[in-house]
Amino acid sequence: DGGITQSPKYLFRKEGQNVTLSCEQNLNHDAMYWYRQDPGQGLRLIYYSQIVNDFQKGDIAEGYSVSREKKESFPLTVTSAQKNPTAFYLCASSIGPTLGETQYFGPGTRLLVL
């Protein structure tokens, strides 16, 4: 089955720790995205990548980092600089960066601070 997988489902972060959220897709999509969702709010864009080895900051990139070394993988690292990391993180992909294409979403990772 084609789709987007995110792991882990739940992640706990200690003070000062960096943690990495995994996102993998087997849809052969060029573009991938990371969003953050807080309770009662819409999704906010953290980073996006339109092609391998290239990525751009979204609206709330501070305290986060990404890499795009492979087409199918777009991991997100939440660094210690992110002071309020507790949220639901969603990864998405689309066929390409051109306009009008639907984004497909993974099941999400919930990050909690210990």
Partner 1 sequence: KQEVTQIPAALSVPEGENLVLNCSFTDSAIYNLQWFRQDPGKGLTSLLLIQSSQREQTSGRLNASLDKSSGRSTLYIAASQPGDSATYLCAVKETSGSRLTFGEGTQLTVNP
Q: Which residues bind partner 1 (CB under 8 A)?
A: 4, 6, 31, 40-45, 48, 50, 58, 88, 90, 92, 94, 97-100, 102-108, 110
Q: Which residues pair with 7 in a beta bridge?
A: 22
Nearest approach in angstroms of CB 49 to partner 1 is 10
Q: How far is Cα 46 from Cα 89, in angstroms, rounded to an integer?
A: 10
- Output 84 or 102, the one with its CB closest to partner 1: 102
- Output 18 or 41, the one with its CB closest to partner 1: 41
Nearest approach in angstroms of CB 54 to partner 1 is 12
- Output 75 or 104, the one with its CB closest to partner 1: 104
Of 72, 60, 64, which is closest to residue 13 (Cα–Cα)?
Answer: 64
Nearest approach in angstroms of CB 66 to partner 1 is 15
Look-up of token digits 């849809």: 27
- Output 67 or 104, the one with its CB closest to partner 1: 104
Nearest approach in angstroms of CB 29 to partner 1 is 12
